[in-house]
Amino acid sequence: MTAGMWLKHWWLKLMIRSYIPAAIKGLSLTVRRMFQPRDTLSYPEEVHVPRKGYRGEHRLKKDDQGRMKCVACLMCQTACPAECIQIVGAPSPWPDRDKIPVVFNIDMLKCIYCGMCEEACPCDAIELTPTFNKVALTREEKIYDINKLLGR
Amino acid sequence: MHNLLETVFSHPAVRGGAKIAFCIGFFVLALVPLLVILERRISAFMQNRVGPDRVNLPFINRLGGILPGGLAQPLADAIKLLFKEDIIPSGADKFLYLAGPVLVLVPPALGMIVIPFGSNIGGEPLQVAHLGVGILFTMSVLSVAVYGLAFGGWASNNKWSLIGGMRASAQLVSYELSLGLSILAVLMLSGAMDPKGGTVDPRELVQRQADHGWNIFGGGNPWLLPAGLGGFLLFFISALAENNRLPFDLPECEAELVGGYHTEYSSMKFSLFMMGEFVGMILMCSLMVTLFLGGWSLPPLFGALNGANEWLAGGSILQGLVSVGIFVSKVMVLLLLYIAIRWTLPRFKYTQLMDLGWKRLLPLALANIAYVAVVGVAASGGQP
């Protein structure tokens, strides 16, 4: 072992056992971390904006005459893996379709927000909106009926 | 009006009272809550959190949100602590149990009285008590604080608290020595540069540093620079241990001892322990600033700041306040370093602590004293 190697070994050992370089390294890490941006949102002031295509609560679409697009074909009810959609059809008052729904209930507590109903719909009548923070105080409030779904 | 103020303040009791009021009101009652919220916010930022940034206090809201963010959090905490049930555990030794928190808070607050926190205003030195034995007084008062921890741990009739109290006293014996020896080295260092010899008077120490240069930079003698820097490092590490701060917070390690010596304390007694810890930190930082970092003075930076210290000692109200500001900002920098270290370093094991105290810091402190002695004798031309 040359003198230079011995000195280097001794110095490294001293630096490690004095804890000081490690402490300085750690301090620089934490101080740098202080100035990094953080992901936390201050909720009531800053509201989370979901990404494009986020699957939130449903709505029923209307056509350009203001009528609901739904034809009560039950495709969404069939496609739904959570079985949260309940539809009761009735004869349509309008000539361009046979049926319209009179009951269209979605149980938002059962829904898994998979978007299968949106994909199954042949008339592009149901879609998932980015709304994600609707709060209710009772279970009944979370069963959305046709008026609530159309009005959104 | 001006004359009235002058007449009132010409009375020594009024001057003394004003200084005591500043010492207690600022260093204990104002800086401690500030430190609490700073500690919480800084730790949050270091961990990529936000921390307490809003407080809903009705009377604060009525002010129109003048206090931003979590600045009112310590106030809310204090109100909560005041209204909590004050429990004395059955089987506790009542007298010692009550003496514990008092003995933790009072000694550091007492130690503040000899710290010169500014130059002077109208010839009145900004220091509560001008004791000739100032540094020794602070040291002796500081060692009393550990009785508070030991009493608290002993009297609360709890195994974990007892371990915490025992650890506090064992930690004291392994650190007080290197703390005292590094203070001794810096006193010798400042004595080596002055014809009057060594002194333990804090005001005199600060005045010498204002005249010759800070003690951390060798007090004006380039040969003493390593002694100053090394002594400061030793003192800082020992001070961390003295205040039971991480990485040496063995007496109150939450994970092992369920809170340590203050597990059984609740309500205001608990907050007295907390306050005592923070006041101890403030006192240690003030001591560091007084001993090593030149108190209220500015460093003579290559002649760029020549005359600044004479201006600070001028004696007008503005000059006095600026000197207080310089002292407080130095203390704040050290306190921030304390906080940053707390949230960076993990806790030492008990064996490592003893090892560090007895086998590394003590020999280093002794070597530091020997070095200062040799250089000091050489600088004075062989005259003792």
Angstroms from B140 CA to nearest CA on chain A: 29
Angle at B308 (CA atoms; ends B303, B310), nearest 5 degrees: 115
Parallel, antiparallel or unpaired: strands A85-91 and A143-144: unpaired
Q: Which of A14, A31, A39 to mutate to test the interface with B (most CBs of B within 10 A)?
A: A31
| Chain A hits for B46, Cβ within 8 Å | 30-31, 33-34
**Distance to chain A for B228, nearest Cα, Å:** 17
Q: Please state, in angstroms and rounded to a whole number, the distance separating the CA atoms of residues A135 and A137.
A: 7
Task: Report pLDDT digits (tens) over B53-112.
Answer: 777 777 766 655 555 667 778 888 888 888 888 888 888 888 888 888 888 888 888 888
For A42, nearest residue in chain B (alpha carbons) = B50
**Given phi > 0 = left and psi -120 to 50 = alpha, else beta, which region is B381?**
left
What residues in B contact A33, CB-CB < 8 Å?
Answer: 45-48
pLDDT, mean over chain B: 82
CA angle B37/B42/B45 to nearest 5° reads 130
Residue B341 in contact with partner chain A when CB distance is under 8 A: yes
Q: Which residue has the higher pLDDT, A29 or B200?
A: A29
Query: How far is B169 from A117, CA to CA, in rounded Å?
Result: 70
B180-196 pLDDT, tens digit each: 888 888 888 877 766 67
% pLDDT > 90, chain B = 2
Closest chain A residue to the Cα of B343, Cα to Cα: A30
Interface of A with B (CB under 8 A): 17-20, 23, 26-27, 29-31, 33-36, 38-40, 42
Test A30 with B50 for CB contact under 8 angstroms. Answer: no
The rounded distance, in Å, linking the Cα atoms of B336 and A30 is 13
Q: Does B333 lie at the interface with A, CB-CB under 8 angstroms? A: no
At B339, is the secondary structure helix, strand, or coil?
helix
B349 shares contact with chain A (CB less than 8 Å): no
The residues with which B125 forms a beta bridge, in sequence order, are B120
What are the tens digits of pLDDT across the range B45-56?
A: 888 888 887 777
Beta bridge partners of B50: none
pLDDT for position A81: 92
3-state secondary structure labels for all residues of B195-251 = CCCCCCCHHHHHHHHHHHCCHHHCCCCHHHHHHHHHHHHHHHHHHHHHCCCCCCCHH
pLDDT, residue B193, reads 66
B297 contacts B209 by C-beta, under 8 angstroms: yes
Q: Closest approach of chain B CAs to the CA of A132, in angstroms?
A: 24
Find residue A79's DSSP bridge partners.
Answer: none
User: Which candidate, B195, B190, B184, B223, places its Cα nearest to that of B383?
Assistant: B195
Q: Is B159 on the interface with A (CB under 8 A)?
A: no
Chain B residue nearest residue A25, CA to CA? B344
Cβ <8 Å between A34 and B344: no
Domain ranges of chain B: 96-379
For the question of whether the overall pTM of this predicted structure is more than 0.90, the answer is no
pLDDT in tens, chain A (152 residues): 688 888 888 888 888 877 788 888 989 998 888 888 888 887 777 888 888 888 888 889 888 888 888 888 889 999 999 999 999 989 988 888 888 899 999 998 899 989 899 999 998 889 888 888 778 899 888 888 888 888 76
Inter-chain touch B341–A23, beta carbons under 8 Å: yes
Whether residue B316 lies within 8 A of chain A, CB to CB, comes out as no
